Chain A
């Protein structure tokens, strides 16, 4: 069975070092490993390279690690909602490697699947393809992208069982499954750890083989853009 830790700080003990590459799940603030990010902030680990679709918002999610200057480089697809990110980037205090969202997801998936390189049409003819090898298939040009092999993967799931099997909820799934596979070690934070045998084996999203450490905790689950529609009056 997998080791279940009391809290995020203990779950990361022995796993953090300056200069490491971390793959993180989450899309915006949805499905982000809140507790593990906060623990990394407390640990003060520096010069981090983080592969994550977004960079949180000012004060929450990965935004916290930007504020505490722990991040050297981000590998992301969209950072529009984070003023501190923009400021550090334009002031050249932060390196950013923009990855198209699909390329980022596939790089994580490929890294976890033993595929060191793959070809995609995404970005051909744009800045993204500069300096990269290309190859023609069926008369069309594709660009070579490399798998991401992270030191650590931090993910958020809905439920886990003690063998590390994970189930995600709705759009909080997003980057968590590919991220979980591409780290040497994966730590997963969940809302609930359920008894062994209570998850339907046909409905497991991330098989336990990918998960090394587990924590259960309470999540804020902030909504970035609360949007509603009016009820039509009868």
Chain B
């Protein structure tokens, strides 16, 4: 069975290392915070100006001045620090964030990422994604392997406008885990009861053995 959103998030959480500073994108990546392994302490950075982001508040304890990058109410932790947006992106661009986990529309076999616009249709804007992929030490994409039309999202070359060029290190999909390596992508792991053949069939990019 392919992984569902929560299983993908749980697998992505395995990428975290103790002591890391991590930025989680909106969508499935936010679920990663529910699955941080025991003994692994990470500090979540929220691009709108917060280090040490806590869980969602209990009902009645929501604070309009305390939100994450997805505009959801959150809480603080003992190690929390607040700072302004220019400081936030200084630490991102300055390479202090160990990992960004974000969603994607398309990823190419050279690690190009497209996740911010569909010309003529969906143009929400890139938010902090371009800065994140240009600045963080490691980029992990979490996305469905194919789109609603059943077409591969792991391509030889992105067709949509890019968020970043040659920025993606690892791709976690509902079918498994792939790494971007010289010459193409490499299957690292298959989801439960998913075969390598299935992954290959759903992947347009060059697969390196």
Residues of A within 8 A of B (CB): 27-31, 53, 76-81, 86, 89-90, 96, 98, 100-106, 108-109, 120-128, 158, 168-178, 205, 221-231
Contact = CB atoms under 8 A, between A and B. Distances in A.
Contacts of B76: 170
Interface residues of B, number: 53
Interface string B13-41: 00000000000000000000000000000
Contact of A125 (B55, B125, B165): B165
B128 A225 contact: no
B124 A170 contact: no
Given A226-B62, A226-B72, A227-B62, 11 more contacts: A27-B67, A28-B71, A30-B67, A96-B123, A101-B47, A103-B130, A106-B89, A170-B76, A171-B82, A174-B48, A231-B58
B198 interface: no
Interface stretch (B3-11, B156-164, B179-187): B156-164
A205 B89 contact: no
A178 B164 contact: no
B73 A228 contact: yes
B123 A89 contact: yes
Contacts of B127: 77-78, 100-101
Nearest to A181: B86
25 contacts: A27-B49, A28-B71, A30-B65, A30-B71, A79-B124, A80-B124, A98-B125, A103-B131, A120-B93, A123-B134, A124-B134, A124-B165, A170-B65, A170-B76, A171-B48, A171-B68, A172-B65, A173-B82, A174-B85, A175-B84, A176-B84, A177-B84, A177-B86, A225-B72, A229-B55
B74 to A, nearest CB: 8
Interface in B83-138: 83-86, 88-90, 92-93, 112, 120, 123-131, 134-135
A171 B46 contact: yes
Contact of B162 (A78, A126, A168, A228): A126
Given A53-B85, A77-B128, A78-B124, A169 B65 contact: yes
B209 to A, nearest CB: 28
Interface string B143-184: 000000000000000000111111000000000000000000
A28 B56 CA distance: 18
Nearest to A123: B130
Contact of A171 (B67, B131, B163): B67
Given A30-B71, A31-B65, A106-B89, A98 B126 contact: yes
A118 B203 CA distance: 39
